[in-house]
Amino acid sequence: MKNRITLENLDTFSVPLSSHPLNWKFKSENLTKEHKDQIIALNSKASRFLREFKQTQKYLRSTSAIEKYFEQVEELPLNNIDFKKMKKWLYNRGIPFDQKVFLLSESNWGFILTWKMLIKLSESIFYSSDDFIWDKTLNWCMIFDHEDVFVFGKNRNYNVETHSRELEEIQRMINTNNAST
C-alpha cells in the first residue's frame, strides 16, 4: 500500500509550486530557494485527502467550532490593520518557525509549509477567502475567515467518546481513499 495517503506522508504527493493553480499566493521577490523549499504544493489527490480529513474534524469546520472545541481562543480582525501587526500576532501564537503546517484554501487546494513561511507570506496568502491551518498535533488550529478575521484556538478539549468517533471516521476515509487508488 505504498500509495496510501496519511498526514505523515502527505508531503510526498506534491507538484511543483510553479505549476500549482494557487502559486500566486506564494509569489514574493524576497523568496530564496531555501524559502521555496519550505512550501510544498499538494497535488489534487492529496488536497482532496486534506479536505476530507478537515471534514472529519468538527473543530475545523467554522470559527464557532473553534470556540466550542478549544480552551483558548484568540481573534484578530483585520479592520484597517497594518501587515506588521498581523505578522506580529501570528508570531505571538507561539508556533515554532520550523513547524510544518497544513493550509487548506477555500478552493480546496492544499499546501504544507513552515510556520515561518506562513508568516512571511501572510499578506498574499490571506486574501478575502476562507483558509484553514493546523498541524499534525491537532492541538491547535486557525481559520482565516473571508470577512478578514483570524480565529486561533489551542489546547483542544478532548471528549473521549467524540474523539473515538472521529478516529473511526478518519479510518473509514483512509480506507475509502485507498480503495479508489
Best CA proximity match to 43, nearest among 75, 9, 85, 13: 13
Please give the mean pLDDT across all residues of the chain: 85
H-helix or E-strand containing 118? helix 115-120
Q: What is the pLDDT of residue 177?
A: 78
pLDDT in tens, 125-162: 887 678 899 999 889 999 898 778 888 999 887 764 66
Rg (CA), the chain: 16
Question: Any idea which residue has 498526514 for its cell?
Answer: 7
- The answer to whether residues 65 and 59 touch, using CB atoms and an 8 Å cutoff, is yes
H-helix or E-strand containing 68? helix 63-69
pTM of the predicted model as reported, rounded to 2 decimal places: 0.82
Q: What is the pLDDT of residue 170?
A: 82
